Structure 1
Amino acid sequence: MCPGQNCPIKQNCSRFTDEILGRQDFFGEAPYNFTTNFCEHFIINCPDENKIRLKAYEIWQQMGYPNGKSVEHWLQAEKELIDLKV
């Protein structure tokens, strides 16, 4: 887990935004390097591509199997999965 502090990417990092469950290790300070603008411990909040694919498929089924809506279903699935984490 990361304390965030002055980190500019903390809202998109799972190490900062994930729920704290029980005993977990924390960085003493944010590992973000302002000189290189990089964090080697950054884990993006985006859901796994396979989870998005399955959710998009569910949405496609629920919508009645329409043609030409795959991008909309993908984006909706991604948003729904991200919203579940928040």
Structure 2
Amino acid sequence: MDQPTDEKLSERAHQLWEQAGRPEGRQDEFWYQAEQELREMERLREQAEAPPPTILPG
């Protein structure tokens, strides 16, 4: 799984901060939320691109 880049994290954290009304002193909260979102998006992308499981005749 690829890790989100600092640039992508920064962009998403900034979006979240603006959506929340630009509160002071909550940078870490928005950075953590951005990190969680981007990791989940990457996990879902990898899952969607994975080949379907092989079912063996039984």
**Is the TM-score greater than 0.5?**
yes
| Greater fraction of residues in helix | 2
Structure 2 residue ranges without an equivalent (≥5): 44-58
Identity %: 35
Match of 1:66 in 2: 23
TM-score (norm 1): 0.48
Task: Map Cα deviations across residues 41-86 of structure 1 (whole Å, 9 max, x no partner).
Answer: xxxx320110000000000000000001000000000100000011
When the two chains are superposed, the root-mean-square deviation of aligned CA atoms in Å is 0.8
TM-score (norm 2): 0.70
Structure 1 residue ranges without an equivalent (≥5): 1-13, 15-44
Q: Which has the higher contact order (CA 8 A, sep 6+)?
A: 2
Structure 1 residue ranges (4+ consecutive) displaced by more than 6 angstroms after TM superposition: none
Q: May I ask how many residue pairs the two structures share in their alignment?
A: 43
